[in-house]
Chain A
């Protein structure tokens, strides 16, 4: 049977396109000749929607962007708003924000590693990851009431103070995680099949990565030490002692290792933040009907998936004139074609998993 080039549609209904992504592939037997992502199946018109909502009303909607890292989206948005109104945030609120954001990073990386492993065929790892993630979601549930779309930030601070009960819960959950992470690494790190499926697959050079705006763990796996938490600290990240894991390979394996290492660093940050949690109020006084003076701002944070930025333009009313979002998944998806070309068809799912995209964030 001789066919040279086969056009293949992966998605929008496909088990491993992480939602409703459609990939238009051209394959020669198993080798990928070209790949074109087609997006927009989950478009909800978020950015337009926000123009008709007041500033505080927008916060819960940001949950629905990257639904695996809702708190990080909240954080990026409220930080941008606060910068625009030049608001001083109490230290305690900042620390609680760091704790929540790092818990969210843990949850998001666990989901990323789990789905990626599942795409490559190690299906138990997904369940192990979700067991750990479950504990983190329980913390969110106890703190805010929400599990997936948490709405864990308010303009000016956080919704609630971090009481003893939640603190004890966080400590207890964190104590159990390292052992479970070791289990996952024991299943994968030195597994020959896993290494064959990930090492040298989806290669991207640091130059290409920078040229295409790759961010997050995928960028750090190419050898570029760029983590906004370290390079342009926000939200008191400068108070904490943590490392930014950087690897040189630029392949799927290194992206996986970077994520695993970042989870350890996140736990370090949370432990320090709980240790040093300053007393005081957990929310600054913000007027009930929030009107922001004319101006514009662009603010980025290091979300689990990469650099998450919000551009907000205010016209002096209680609603923004324009909110534009720079979502890491959308930017990272640009590198997919470069990574996949010449690889085998089976690797596409692994590479896609290693990019850790969320369609809610891509289509907005």
Chain B
């Protein structure tokens, strides 16, 4: 075995696997910091600015603190489910990143380096499926805590995720319909060949998907499963130490995942703006990965912005919004899009 094959067959895949764990973690750290600073700015506060440059190491310090905290399991809790559920949440959201392409593949010498760990012809389904698996962790965790607030949080979470999976599925169908593929790489490539990004071509799909995505990640204004003013901390009330941190990190990872999906499905993934216009061809000099990062940071910022602005939905309004507005709207959207595609 030559050194070259060793590099290509072993070291690069291993590096990719490490990267797929590190990348969401770094994004989570940046995201927690960004959220705290941005919310503080919006509210006229300063926010954490002591640990590291402008407080960028604050999330790391918090994680370290949680690492050393006592891990408390209630006497009445179902220890097995209680222990596996944070890992389930964490695992599912990290695994989904294997299928998320972070940039275009480029050639080094004779080797093509793909910026994704696994390319699957059904990548989109896998990512959506894995992000839905995470809710099992929330349900198990809430139920196994054997406590009332977590149970109510878990029950809310079930209904919420069940309701919003449907509009997500229906809106994704329109994108798939145009790109004729459920491979995430293919979807991005199609947006390069096509004249326009899907977000501008299918605005209704984008808006429904984005709002449902916020609901699916249990973020404000849909953060009912962990509404702190009602349910204390919701499903993870009884968790402490690193297990709590896992839920916390998983929530942010999930946000990064949903933002990535929005960017890939609707805003051309790693493509620069106007990928085909000759006048803007200089934009191609900036690596695709940077474009992708800029785009997802925008959507992550919107997450924070929404959280600082809007009050929380009530449970009935949340369900009404899903079943009376989004499900019919996304169905009608699908039929209209299909009809227009064939008529025009």
User: Are B44 and A120 neighbours in the complex by a CB distance under 8 Å?
Assistant: no
Contact with B221, one of A15, A121, A127, A348 (Cβ below 8 angstroms): A121
User: Are B229 and A15 neighbours in the complex by a CB distance under 8 Å?
Assistant: yes
A346 within 8 A of B: yes
Contacts of B220 in A (CB 8 A): 121
Contacts of B67 in A (CB 8 A): none
User: Are B315 and A193 neighbours in the complex by a CB distance under 8 Å?
Assistant: no
Q: Given A121-B229, A124-B308, A193–B44 Cβ distance below 8 Å? A: no
Q: Could you tell me the distance between the alpha carbons of A119 and B229 in the complex, rounded to whole angstroms? A: 5
Q: Could you tell me the distance between the alpha carbons of A30 and B149 in the complex, rounded to whole angstroms? A: 12
User: Are A1 and B155 neighbours in the complex by a CB distance under 8 Å?
Assistant: yes
For B320, give the chain A residue with the smallest CB separation. A196
Contacts of B152 in A (CB 8 A): 6, 30, 345
User: Are B310 and A344 neighbours in the complex by a CB distance under 8 Å?
Assistant: no
Q: Given A15-B229, A120-B229, A131-B44, A193–B148 Cβ distance below 8 Å? A: no
Binary contact readout B327-344 vs A (1 if CB under 8 angstroms, 0 otherwise) = 000000000000000000
B316 within 8 A of A: yes
Within 8 A of B (CB), among A48-70: none
Binary contact readout B36-66 vs A (1 if CB under 8 angstroms, 0 otherwise) = 0001001111000000000000000000000
Q: Given A6-B148, A346-B227, A349-B230, A193–B221 Cβ distance below 8 Å? A: yes
For A27, give the chain B residue with the smallest CB separation. B152
A118 within 8 A of B: yes
Q: Closest Cβ of chain A: how far from B83's Cβ, in Å?
A: 22
Q: Could you tell me the distance between the alpha carbons of A131 and B314 in the complex, rounded to whole angstroms? A: 28
Binary contact readout B14-52 vs A (1 if CB under 8 angstroms, 0 otherwise) = 000000000000000000000000010011110000000
A169 within 8 A of B: no
User: Are B314 and A346 neighbours in the complex by a CB distance under 8 Å?
Assistant: yes
User: Are A347 and B148 neighbours in the complex by a CB distance under 8 Å?
Assistant: no
Binary contact readout A92-130 vs B (1 if CB under 8 angstroms, 0 otherwise) = 000000000000000000000000011111111001100
User: Are B310 and A349 neighbours in the complex by a CB distance under 8 Å?
Assistant: no
Q: Could you tell me the distance between the alpha carbons of A344 and B313 in the complex, rounded to whole angstroms? A: 12
A194 within 8 A of B: yes
Binary contact readout B299-313 vs A (1 if CB under 8 angstroms, 0 otherwise) = 000000001111111
User: Are B310 and A15 neighbours in the complex by a CB distance under 8 Å?
Assistant: no
A14 within 8 A of B: yes
Contacts of A194 in B (CB 8 A): 311
User: Are B317 and A128 neighbours in the complex by a CB distance under 8 Å?
Assistant: no
Within 8 A of B (CB), among A1-43: 1, 6-9, 14-16, 29-30
Q: Could you tell me the distance between the alpha carbons of A16 and B308 in the complex, rounded to whole angstroms? A: 18
User: Are A30 and B315 neighbours in the complex by a CB distance under 8 Å?
Assistant: yes
B71 within 8 A of A: no
User: Are B148 and A121 neighbours in the complex by a CB distance under 8 Å?
Assistant: no
Contacts of A117 in B (CB 8 A): 311
Q: Given A16-B230, A193-B317, A121–B44 Cβ distance below 8 Å? A: no
Contacts of B45 in A (CB 8 A): 127
Within 8 A of A (CB), among B201-255: 220-221, 223-224, 227-230, 232
Q: Could you tell me the distance between the alpha carbons of A1 and B158 in the complex, rounded to whole angstroms? A: 12
Q: Could you tell me the distance between the alpha carbons of A197 and B42 in the complex, rounded to whole angstroms? A: 23
User: Are B230 and A346 neighbours in the complex by a CB distance under 8 Å?
Assistant: yes
Q: Could you tell me the distance between the alpha carbons of A16 and B233 in the complex, rounded to whole angstroms? A: 12
Within 8 A of B (CB), among A247-295: none
Q: Could you tell me the distance between the alpha carbons of A14 and B155 in the complex, rounded to whole angstroms? A: 20
Within 8 A of A (CB), among B89-125: none
Q: Could you tell me the distance between the alpha carbons of A8 and B39 in the complex, rounded to whole angstroms? A: 32
For A191, give the chain B residue with the smallest CB separation. B311
Q: Given A6-B148, A128-B43, A131-B44, A123–B314 Cβ distance below 8 Å? A: no
Contacts of A168 in B (CB 8 A): none
A87 within 8 A of B: no
Q: Closest Cβ of chain A: how far from B40's Cβ, in Å?
A: 9
Contact with B43, one of A124, A188, A349 (Cβ below 8 angstroms): A124
User: Are A196 and B317 neighbours in the complex by a CB distance under 8 Å?
Assistant: yes
Q: Closest Cβ of chain B: how far from A127's Cβ, in Å?
A: 4
Q: Could you tell me the distance between the alpha carbons of A209 and B223 in the complex, rounded to whole angstroms? A: 34
25 contacts between A and B (CB under 8 A): A6-B152, A7-B148, A8-B149, A14-B232, A15-B232, A16-B229, A16-B230, A118-B229, A121-B223, A121-B229, A123-B39, A123-B43, A123-B308, A124-B309, A127-B43, A127-B44, A187-B309, A188-B311, A196-B314, A344-B314, A345-B230, A346-B314, A347-B314, A348-B230, A349-B230
**Further pairs besides A197-B312, A347-B314: 16, Cβ < 8 Å:** A1-B155, A6-B152, A8-B148, A8-B149, A9-B148, A16-B228, A121-B221, A121-B310, A121-B311, A127-B43, A128-B44, A188-B311, A197-B311, A197-B314, A346-B230, A349-B230
